[in-house]
Amino acid sequence: MTETVGLVGLGAMGLPIGKRILESGRGLVVVPHTNRTPAEELKALGARIAAVPADLARDCSTVLTSLPDVPHVEEVLFGQYGLASQDCVGLLYIDLSTITPSATIEFERKLAAHGIQMLDAPVSGGPMRAAEGTLTIMVGGSQEAYDRARSLLEVFGKNIVHVGGSGTGQVVKLTNQLLISVIMVANAEALSLGVKAGVPLETLLEVIGTSSGSNYLLQNWLPRTLFSGDLDHGFALDLLMKDLNAVLQMAAEAGSPVFGGALAQQLYRSIRATGEEVGRLDYSVVARIFEEVNGVDLRLPEK
């Protein structure tokens, strides 16, 4: 029989993941949240629309969520019309969201009491790689659940690693988010200094791109966002800040200092305070702090 997958969360990542699932020949049932448009788009491709998460328990062997934060995941699982409100013994639940490890561990414990297996499987790569099926997926949970989920994860992921038990997927993802938060600030600070001191951005990138200061953001992310002037796409500042808050919570729970992360948080908060609309822009918008102080623009000329 054809596997049927449930999906809750049809935003920038959930929508392309849903399309990949349909293209794989699997059945798909989706639950819209505040915006019904993505659900209708998937319906036109063959998906069915359910009213509430509890409805997925009847028809789906696996349910995925791709949601903003802990309260949204908790509502889908344990709310009045959540998955756990139904008889879901044998269901596999995979959370693609980025949330705190402590919340994940608690959710896994509560779901196990309902006979539901859970994996935390946050993803990295953005909407473009989701559409291509080349996401990096870091998976936490039991080996049994991972083996069961592997073929589905391969539909939208290329680099899939079982990193350990419950919550470890979130640990790895938040470690990555701490790195990109700090590296983005370092790129903006260093490049704006170099440009102010008289070297064109193109020259800095040519040299640093083959030097020890090179990094993924410099080579792959910033040319599509900050350097092109297009901040309307990418990874929203508000989402980055949510992840960075989770990093600092994880660090506090572990008793670990995160000096760079705390400084980065304050810089992102400072630029966010300049306007509500800024939170929807790519997080490279933090460069505006350094651009304005130095009187420079980190832009490449159009080709």
Active-site amino acid positions: 173
What Å distances lie between residue 181 and 23, 86, 285, 302, CA to CA? 34, 40, 12, 27
CA distance 269 to 286: 9
Burial class of residue 106, CB neighbours in 10 A (0-12, 13-18, 19+): middle
Task: Count the alpha carbons within 13 Å of 9 in the hemisphere toward its beta carbon.
Answer: 22
DSSP 92-118: EEEE-S---HHHHHHHHHHHHTTT-EE
Query: CA dihedral in degrees (185, 186, 188, 194; nearest 10)?
Result: 160
**What is the rounded distance in angstroms from the CA atom of residue 146 to the CA atom of residue 136?**
15
Region of 25 (left: φ > 0; alpha: ψ -120 to 50; beta: rest) is left
Number of Cβ within a 10 Å radius of residue 26: 18
Short-list 144, 100, 145, 153, CA closest to 118: 145
